């Protein structure tokens, strides 16, 4: 990417826990208020019934807004529920298997922490995008995905790159020239008005 690169697209992530009665309306407001490229269901639970009901609720909202819906990790559920794809949390390790299960048209993304090597392996294995993070804060073990990683990737690799984890207005401004997608989740859902929080994060407040 260059200084004249297009602004990154928005990749929205659900909170790790939400109320099925109220969250869909909250989600719909965000999807109607800003152009979102993809939505990821990212619940903390491993309970299949809970995941299934949540997927059904957010899929209706996402598809009404013509936004693709992927799910964290659960390749089998993505296939069974007819979701648009899966976001893998183990770098390149599961990409080929996920692609085989879900088919060529599904979205398969891979979170690769701060590892350029894992990112390249994921891309070679067939990932549609690679995400790096966190980009700020004290998430995980304290290691951060620095701007230099995104800059190198954007210059050298064709696979789209996503910045995620601990996004702030400052991080958005710093990374917007060197990333294809900004992944936004808990940064906005903890706010009273998530749409306003998203716009503030993007410098549109």
List all residues 6 or more positions away from 185 whose beta carbon is below 8 Å from its beta carbon.
12, 13, 14, 15, 40, 42, 164
Residues of the chain predicted below pLDDT 70: 1-5, 138-140, 205
Q: Quote the pLDDT of residue 2.
A: 37
- How far apart CA 120 and CA 58 sit, in angstroms, is 31
Q: What is the pTM of this model?
A: 0.94
Backbone angles phi, psi at 33, to 5 degrees: -85, -25
Q: Quote the pLDDT of residue 119.
A: 98
What number of residues does the chain have? 205
Q: Quote the pLDDT of residue 77.
A: 96
Q: Quote the pLDDT of residue 4.
A: 43
Closest listed residue to residue 88, CA positions, set 49, 137, 50, 126 = 126
- Within 10 angstroms of residue 2's Cβ, the number of other Cβ atoms is 8
- How far apart CA 51 and CA 73 sit, in angstroms, is 12
Q: Quote the pLDDT of residue 1.
A: 31
List all residues 6 or more positions away from 26 whose beta carbon is below 8 Å from its beta carbon.
194
Q: Quote the pLDDT of residue 142.
A: 79
Q: Are 131 and 111 in contact (CB under 8 A)?
A: yes
Q: Quote the pLDDT of residue 139.
A: 58
Where do runs of H (alpha helix) occur along 71-159? Answer: 75-80, 95-102, 116-125, 147-156
CATH architecture type of domain 9-201: Alpha-Beta Barrel (3.20)
Q: Quote the pLDDT of residue 140.
A: 64
Which stretch of DSSP H or E encloses residue 174?
helix 169-175
Q: Quote the pLDDT of residue 3.
A: 42
CA atoms within 13 A on the CB side of 67: 28
Q: Quote the pLDDT of residue 29.
A: 98
Q: Is 35 exposed, middle or buried (0-12, 13-18, 19+ CB in 10 A)?
A: exposed
Peptide bond between residue 89 and the one before it cis (omega within 30 degrees of 0): no
Radius of gyration of the chain (CA): 16
- How far apart CA 181 and CA 128 sit, in angstroms, is 12
């Amino acid at each position: 990417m260059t200084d004249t690169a297009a602004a990154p697209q928005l990749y929205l992530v659900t909170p790790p826990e939400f109320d099925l009665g109220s969250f869909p309306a909250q989600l719909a407001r965000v999807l109607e208020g800003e152009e979102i490229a993809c939505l990821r269901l990212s619940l903390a639970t491993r309970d299949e019934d809970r995941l299934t009901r949540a997927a059904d609720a957010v899929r209706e909202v996402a598809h009404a807004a013509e936004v693709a819906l992927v799910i964290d990790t659960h390749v089998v559920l993505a296939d069974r529920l007819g979701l648009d794809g899966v976001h893998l949390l183990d770098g390149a390790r599961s990409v080929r298997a996920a692609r085989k299960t879900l088919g060529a048209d599904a979205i398969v993304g891979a979170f690769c922490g701060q590892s350029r090597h894992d990112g390249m392996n994921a891309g070679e294995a067939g990932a549609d995008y690679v995400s790096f993070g966190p980009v700020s804060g004290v998430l995980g073990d304290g290691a951060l995905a620095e701007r230099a990683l995104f800059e190198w990737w954007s210059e050298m690799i064709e696979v789209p790159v996503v910045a995620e984890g601990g996004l702030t207005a400052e991080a958005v401004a710093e990374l917007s020239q060197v990333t294809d997608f900004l992944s936004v989740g808990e940064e906005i859902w903890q706010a009273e008005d998530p749409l306003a929080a998203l716009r503030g994060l993007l410098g549109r407040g």
